[in-house]
Amino acid sequence: MFVAKAQQYTNFNYVDANQDAFTVPLSQTGGNYMNAYNLSVLDMAQRLSDIYKLGERNKTYNINDLIKVTKVLYSPDNSQMLVIEPVFASNKKRCILLTNGNGENFSWSQSNRTAIDYALRGYVVAYYENAGSVAGRFDGKGNTSNFYINKVINQTSAISAKDKFLATMYINLFLTNSARKFMVDNSTQFSVDTTQFYPVGGSLGANASLFFTYADENNFKHTLFNEVKNRLNFNQPINNNGVVGVAAFGGGLPGPNEGVGAIIDNQDKTPAFYFSGSLDWVVNPNKTTILGPENWGPLALKDLYDANDIKYNIYINAYGTHVFQTPSFKQTWGSLPSMRGNVSEKEKISASRTDTYAKANMINLLMYQYENTQMHEAGKMTAAYFNAIATHTTPASAVQYVEPKCIQNTIFYQYSIGKLSIDKAAKCYTQNPNSSEINRSLDKITTTCMDGTFVPYSKGQTAPVIANNFMAPGKGLVKLANFLETLNKMGRK
């Protein structure tokens, strides 16, 4: 029976993806683990989208026998969350508090895939929306981002881009706090160990995760804190008890002179894992003011961690963009259709359907696989770091530079061989992938090199990082709405 199988299952170990939980088994991919993983994550991430958009609240949906999902309302103003549970014999599972990047809507993009990855490794994933979510509200009245802009930000003294960003941070602080409280209050139902929380996010979600992890009363003296609190009317005390590690993908924090104070200080000891791209013009691994406040990425925050004796692992992808991935040259895989004809199916996908789907979508699947291989690598590395924290073997602090094994299929191939500067490479990506800066005779577009596995950066211990405030409009200050519009046009977070 199902329950007996669940009680006997012990292969989730919080580091490795459980192959038995794949919806496309290895038997359908000729034993190729990465193909089975990528197809399964695609399918399961699309299923999350269906559950979020079409599912009933407080009803549990089985993606398969080993992964189940429940949609809930988690905050005083009814923000939404998907609780994703791996089914195995433990009533105290470690919990990822995962939140979205700006402009996401619980589609099957990065955050959905990240949520599935961690569930495959054994974590209960509390996947909650923050103030940057453009998903529709539970009551059908607008989207979440507009809800918080109208209810909170427009009712405060936040006028400049800097203050709007800080106000968003404070909203997300209260939302993350509510997400943690919901999981504590419902820890028995969802089998959560309340001493093992790990906030994780990309882009704005990374900022929210870091701020919740490291903020304390010294950071609540900004006038916007009380303005946001009063407009939200959240009366729950800020409490991050049980948070033992944090991961940020393409994210950072305002510097100590931006009015919030020194967010990372000697009261903090929580280890941090970072993954960033050298060509990330939105959240520079060093510093930038493009978001409003002077934002410090991991390379800038490193000295604060060292000064306060807080451990960290920082990975910089030498050819990575926002959030950290190196995109394929043809970035069209986001239109891949659902693998299932019936969203209520929970069985593993049949071999005939997998074969038909792969043949019909081969080129886009190859492009998707290149980026999702990198997602797998980042998930594995993060999970290994969190496991080291949980087992009291946290490694020494380190900064490491990596690159995808294959870079021939990317717009940055010419940069990798010294034919494009880092600035020109980033400009070609952010403005026009077919820019005249690209020497077409040097293109290496191929369908035979789609392995995004990370390897040490081939040119040494450090990689060049794009200039601060690269392509920043005006003085580097942009309104959140304009920022969101720009990124949406790029098809990124």
Query: Which tens digits make up the pLDDT trace of 444-484?
Result: 666 666 788 999 999 988 999 999 988 766 443 344 444 44
Say what the pLDDT of residue 7 is.
37
CATH code for the domain in which residue 40 is found: 3.40.50.1820
Sign of CA dihedral 224, 226, 230, 234: positive
Predicted local distance difference test score (pLDDT) of residue 8: 40
The yes-or-no verdict on residue 3 having pLDDT over 50 is no
Looking at the domain assignment, is residue 182 inside a domain?
yes
Task: Give the model's pLDDT for residue 333.
Answer: 83
Mean pLDDT of the chain: 88
Distance between CA atoms of residues 331 and 433, nearest Å: 10
pLDDT by residue (tens digit) across 128-186?
A: 999 999 999 998 889 999 999 999 999 999 999 999 999 999 999 999 999 999 999 99
pLDDT on residue 384: 98
What's the pLDDT at 410?
80
For the sheet containing 93-99, what is the strand order?
A: 60-64, 67-73, 80-86, 124-128, 93-99, 192-202, 246-249, 272-277, 312-317, 398-404, 454-456
Tens digits of residue pLDDT in 301-324 = 999 999 999 999 999 999 999 999
Residue 420 has a pLDDT of 86
How many whole angstroms separate alpha carbon 230 and alpha carbon 288?
30
Q: What is the mean pLDDT of residues 279-306?
A: 95
In the predicted model, what is the mean pLDDT of residues 202-221? Answer: 96
Tokens (6 digits) for 135:
């998903």
58 located within any domain:
yes
Residue 407 within a domain? no
Domain count of the chain?
A: 1
Mean pLDDT of 206-215: 98
Does pTM top 0.75 for this prediction?
yes
Helix (H) or strand (E) segment spanning residue 195: strand 192-202
> Is the pLDDT assigned to residue 253 strictly greater than 90?
yes
**What is the pLDDT, as a whole number, of residue 441?**
67
State residue 417's pLDDT score.
87
The pLDDT of residue 146 is: 94
The pLDDT value recorded for residue 10 is 56
Strands 67-73 and 80-86: antiparallel
Question: Per the structure block, which two tokens stand in for 33?
Answer: 């683990």
User: What would the mean pLDDT of 221-238 be, rounded to a whole number?
Assistant: 93
Q: Averaged over 329-351, what is the pLDDT?
A: 76
Domain-embedded: residue 416: no
Q: Is residue 257 in a domain?
A: yes
- Is there a domain that residue 404 lies in? no
Predicted confidence (pLDDT) at residue 110 exceeds the cutoff of 70? yes
Query: Does position 50 have pLDDT exceeding 70, yes or no?
Result: yes
Judged against a pLDDT cut of 80, whether residue 368 lies above it is answered with yes
- Structural domain contains residue 448: no
pLDDT at 402: 97
Determine, yes or no, domain membership for 170.
Answer: yes
Q: Would you say residue 38 has pLDDT above 80? A: yes
Range of the domain at 147: 2-399+460-490
Q: What does the pLDDT look like over 397-454, one tens digit per residue?
A: 999 999 999 888 787 888 888 888 888 888 877 766 556 777 766 666 666 667 889 9
Share of the chain above pLDDT 90, in %: 70
Which uninterrupted H or E stretch holds 254?
A: strand 253-254
Share of the chain above pLDDT 70, in %: 89
